[in-house]
Amino acid sequence: MRRVSLALCSLVAVLTLPAYAADAPRAPGAASAHAGGSAAPAPSAHPPAELPLVAEVLILHATNEQKGIDPRIGKLPELGKPPFSNYDSYQVLDRVRLPLKKDAPQNLKLPNGRTLQVRLLDELGPDSVRLSASINRPSGKEFLPLLEVKAHVGQAFIVAGQSHKKGILVLVIRVVK
């Protein structure tokens, strides 16, 4: 009798505890705890804190130097399609995260000396934004005066074609949180 009770209690505990565990990642502090590794979870009564939107810029150098594709690029099937497939080598030159804040344009110096400017224009929803990008020469003269893009979190767009050291620059810009 006692063994049966113990077994049933254990069964109840096993079935119940995962339910609480499954709730835990929905806690507001869970994401920061995951990122920081030491933050304590916030009380569940508070609404979840919005993570800041970020434009992640991956700067690639495309050449035909038969070096292959840098494994740090990860999965980017677009590189296997024309016109990107015209280059056999892709190297990561830089990976930068630019925080997206309204009225606070972010500048990034490119390897060719030009400057990429990214600006958040609108937050269309919790995971959707409208942003602008432009590229200026070192003198301040515009190379790409204006590009306006609407994107969801996780989606990317590519700006490519600028000449750089026997190849071209490929800028993969992705909205992340």
Indicate which single residue of 36, 37, 74, 77 sits in contact with another protein (rule: CB under 8 A).
77
Stretch that binds another protein, among 50-58, 78-86, 88-96, 97-105 (CB under 8 A): 78-86
DSSP 26-62: GSHHHHHHHHHS-PPPPPTTSPPPPPPPEEEEEEEEE
Residue 7 binds another protein (CB under 8 A): no
The secondary structure of residue 86, as a DSSP letter, is G
The residues facing 59 across adjacent strands are: 94, 171
Q: How far is it, in rounded angstroms, from Cα 58 to Cα 54?
A: 13
Stretch that binds another protein, among 34-42, 66-74, 76-84, 98-106 (CB under 8 A): 76-84
Indicate which single residue of 47, 66, 74, 103 sits in contact with another protein (rule: CB under 8 A).
47
Residue 105 binds another protein (CB under 8 A): no
Cβ-based nearer residue to another protein, 13 or 35: 13
Residue 52 token pair:
């800041």
Residue 74 binds another protein (CB under 8 A): no
**What residue type is 167 in one-letter code?**
G
Q: How far is it, in rounded angstroms, from Cα 174 to Cα 56?
A: 5
Task: Count other Cβ atoms within 10 Å, centred on residue 95.
Answer: 13
Q: How far is CA 165 from the centre of its chain?
A: 27
Residue 29 binds another protein (CB under 8 A): no
Residue 102 token pair:
């309204």
Residue 15 binds another protein (CB under 8 A): yes
Cβ-based nearer residue to another protein, 37 or 140: 140
CB–CB of 122/130 below 8 Å?
yes
* Residue 34 beta carbon to another protein: minimum distance, rounded to whole angstroms: 17
Contacting positions for another protein (CB under 8 A) = 1, 5, 8-9, 11-13, 15-16, 18-20, 22-23, 26, 47, 77-78, 81, 83-84, 112-114, 127-128, 130, 137-139, 141-152, 155-168, 175
